[in-house]
Every structure is written in structure tokens, then in C-alpha cells.
Amino acid sequence: MTNTISKTIYEQLGGNKFAQMTGSKYFMHTANSLTFRVTKNAENVNAVRITLNADDLYTCEFYCGNAANYKLKSHFTNVGADQLCGIFTLATGLYTSLFPN
């Protein structure tokens, strides 16, 4: 992962510990976003896209489906970096660390 913004998003989520706790994999980055897959969860979300917007806040999109037919399940705008883990847990039911706040 070489993109600075996507690396920052990854670290704000918890980095490698986040990936292990949530079963996240297949991380892909663009100029201003990070997209990845997650393991089975109570909300049936299996793909996530987090995008940095012009206000230095994030837009979080949670999808369900397969590669041929993804559907947007939930969408959060103007999310601060300190809220990313909480929004992820709310949308997926998966905890991002062993010691949730």
C-alpha cells in the first residue's frame, strides 16, 4: 500500500490489528480512498469504501453482494478520523480491536 491517504485510513482503523480482528483483506487504494473486503458479519456487509472528502472528513460506504452485483447497504458522510472505528462497528457488527471504547 503506497498511497499516503489510503495508508493513513488503514492506520486510523487500526492497521494490521484491524485487519486481523475483522478479517479484512484485498485492500485497494485510489488517490483519496481505501476499499476492502470483510469477513462474514451480522449485517451482511462484505465490502467497504472509505473516501477522504474536501473537508478533511470521510465518507464511509458499506456494500453487500458479489462482484457482479454490489448494493449500497449503508452510507455515512462527514465522519471524523476518531469516528471511523465506531462507524465500522455500527455498520458491520465487527469490533476493530480487543478493547472497544
Please state, in angstroms and rounded to a whole number, the distance separating the CA atoms of residues 21 and 2. 22
CA distances 93 to 12, 13, 15, 50, 85, Å, are 18, 15, 18, 17, 11
> What's phi and psi for 32, nearest 5 deg?
-140, 20
Average pLDDT over residues 71-87: 96
Give the pLDDT band (50/70/90) at residue 40.
Answer: very high
pLDDT score at 100:
63
101 lies in some domain: no
Which range marks the domain in which residue 20 is found?
Answer: 4-92
Average pLDDT over residues 69-77: 95
97 lies in some domain: no
99 lies in some domain: no
Count: domains in the chain = 1
Could you tell me what percentage of the chain is helix, strand and coil, using 3-state DSSP and rounding each to the nearest 5? Answer: 30, 35, 35
Please state, in angstroms and rounded to a whole number, the distance separating the CA atoms of residues 35 and 101. 24
Which amino acid is it at 99? F
Task: Tell me the average pLDDT of the chain.
Answer: 92
Average pLDDT over residues 66-70: 84
52 lies in some domain: yes
Give the pLDDT band (50/70/90) at residue 1.
Answer: very low
Which residue is it, cell 465487527? 94
67 lies in some domain: yes
C-alpha cell at 98: 480487543
Which residue is it, cell 471511523? 84
98 lies in some domain: no
Average pLDDT over residues 31-54: 94
| pLDDT > 90? residue 36 | yes
42 lies in some domain: yes
100 lies in some domain: no
